[in-house]
Amino acid sequence: MRCEHFDQGECASCSWIARPYAEQLAAKNSQLHSLLDSYRPREWREPVASPEAGFRNKAKMAALGTADAPLLGIVNHRGDAIGLCDCPLYPEDMQALLRRIQHWIKQAGLPPYRIDKRQGELKFVLLTRSQASGEYMLRFVLRSEVMLSRIKDHLPRLLDEHPNIRVASANIQPVHMAVIEGEREIFLTENTRLAEKLNGVPLFMRPKSFFQTNTAVAEKLYAAAREWVADFKPSTAWDLFCGVGGFGLHCATADTALTGIEIEPEAIACAQMSAAALSLRHVSFAALDATLFAAREDAAPDLLIVNPPRRGLGDALCKQIATAAPKHIFYSSCNPETLVRDLAQLKGYTLDRVQLFDMFPHTAHYEVLVKLSR
């Protein structure tokens, strides 16, 4: 895939984009083999490829330039402001909406925040797209509420032109540091959740709930977990770091006692909505720390699902899991190096199955799902 921003040296985020995609996928699979071959997996599944373009469902755009000439994009390694509304990672309708929002910022007279001068109000524009409906969640990250009335005055025009913007909100981030979001979220629409559907499972996104950025590959990842769990049909399951419940809700049946744990309350609220929509009676979700939850539980589940952040599970949680000894573990990792570190601490398990899911094309990163059995 070609990208003018990469070719011109403006953006280096997709560091592998000049490599043919088949070569990218082969290199990732080779690295995964080098990390896991010593564990002698019983089965290697073929890697799951991604679309090469138009696969990202979320844009995180810095607000740059001036109120008269705003720019949505990034500040690159040279300190240049680069507009990325036409980034080929986004679907074409998303690119078009980003361009319209950029022009709307000018119409509304919203001054972008200047880091060097600590002046201005609009810090970021965050746009999330539902693959199922083509609808959007639009968030404005502001330094304060100074421009909130101006946004409210001009937003109806944008929503009239683009009724597929189902959720709009303002996030207040007053701190002068590299933190995208603040604690306070002010909804500007009656709708507060964006609906998605993967493999027939309804999922919901709120402003602060985690959701995979590559919907097409995420759908195949969840489908694989559903297929793998059919081999042994667990009666009890834990889904730690569950986010909005994607893994657990795909793996649970009407008879499965599922407990989902996630630190972010907004994600838990979304997971609870999905469980209700599916009429699952034996499912509970709670906003708790995964390590604290595992430490207080006496009986281990038949199936433990973990999908931790890049840092992995950590020593304390690995020790608790090894002591509890669930019969099976599904570990989904976006960092295979921390996965290997954690596997070394999960004693008494065989590595049954491995599969790579290319969630992040044109970079060295990827997702991997493994199945462990005692």
pLDDT in tens, 113-122: 998 888 999 9
Task: Examine the domain organization and report whether 159 and 103 are in the same domain.
Answer: yes
- Note the pLDDT tens digit of each residue in 249-280: 999 988 899 999 999 999 999 999 999 999 99
Number of domains in the chain: 2
When the pLDDT of each residue in the chain is averaged and rounded to a whole number, the result is: 95
Quote the pLDDT of residue 109.
97
Task: Examine the domain organization and report whether 129 and 277 are in the same domain.
Answer: no
116 within some domain: yes
169 closest CA partner among 145, 196, 193, 189: 189
Is the pLDDT at 371 greater than 80? The verdict is yes
- Note the pLDDT tens digit of each residue in 130-169: 999 999 999 999 999 999 999 999 999 999 999 999 999 9
Task: Examine the domain organization and report whether 227 and 326 are in the same domain.
Answer: yes
Task: Examine the domain organization and report whether 324 and 368 are in the same domain.
Answer: yes
Is the pLDDT at 354 greater than 90? The verdict is yes
Quote the pLDDT of residue 339.
98
Is the pLDDT at 177 greater than 80? The verdict is no
Task: Examine the domain organization and report whether 41 and 106 are in the same domain.
Answer: no
Task: Identify the domain boundary among 125, 157, 191.
Answer: 191
Phi, psi of 123, rounded to the nearest 5 degrees:
-95, -50
- Kindly state the average pLDDT of the residues 226-245: 95
* CATH number of the domain bearing residue 332: 3.40.50.150
Phi, psi of 139, rounded to the nearest 5 degrees:
-125, 135
Residue with tokens 């939850």: 293
Task: Identify the domain boundary among 191, 226, 242.
Answer: 191
Task: Identify the domain boundary among 141, 158, 191.
Answer: 191
Given a contact cutoff of 8 angstroms between Cβ atoms, the answer to whether 294 and 324 are in contact is: yes
* CATH number of the domain bearing residue 143: 2.40.50.1070
Task: Examine the domain organization and report whether 142 and 281 are in the same domain.
Answer: no
- Kindly state the average pLDDT of the residues 308-334: 95
Contacts of 52 (CB under 8 A, 6+ apart): 1, 21, 361, 362
Task: Examine the domain organization and report whether 254 and 337 are in the same domain.
Answer: yes
147 closest CA partner among 181, 117, 108: 108
Respond yes or no: is residue 251 known to be catalytic: no
2 within some domain: no
Task: Examine the domain organization and report whether 274 and 341 are in the same domain.
Answer: yes
Is the pLDDT at 178 greater than 80? The verdict is no
Question: How much of the chain, in percent, has pLDDT values that exceed 70?
Answer: 100
Quote the pLDDT of residue 297.
86
Quote the pLDDT of residue 281.
87
Quote the pLDDT of residue 360.
98
284 within some domain: yes
201 within some domain: no
Task: Examine the domain organization and report whether 250 and 300 are in the same domain.
Answer: yes
Quote the pLDDT of residue 208.
87
d(CA 192, CA 154): 19
- Kindly state the average pLDDT of the residues 309-330: 94
207 within some domain: no
Contacts of 296 (CB under 8 A, 6+ apart): none
Quote the pLDDT of residue 172.
97
- Note the pLDDT tens digit of each residue in 54-101: 999 999 999 999 999 999 999 998 889 999 999 999 999 999 999 999
Task: Examine the domain organization and report whether 232 and 361 are in the same domain.
Answer: yes
Quote the pLDDT of residue 263.
95
102 within some domain: yes
39 within some domain: yes
Task: Examine the domain organization and report whether 240 and 366 are in the same domain.
Answer: yes
User: What is the domain range of residue 16?
Assistant: 9-52+214-373
Task: Examine the domain organization and report whether 173 and 238 are in the same domain.
Answer: no
204 within some domain: no
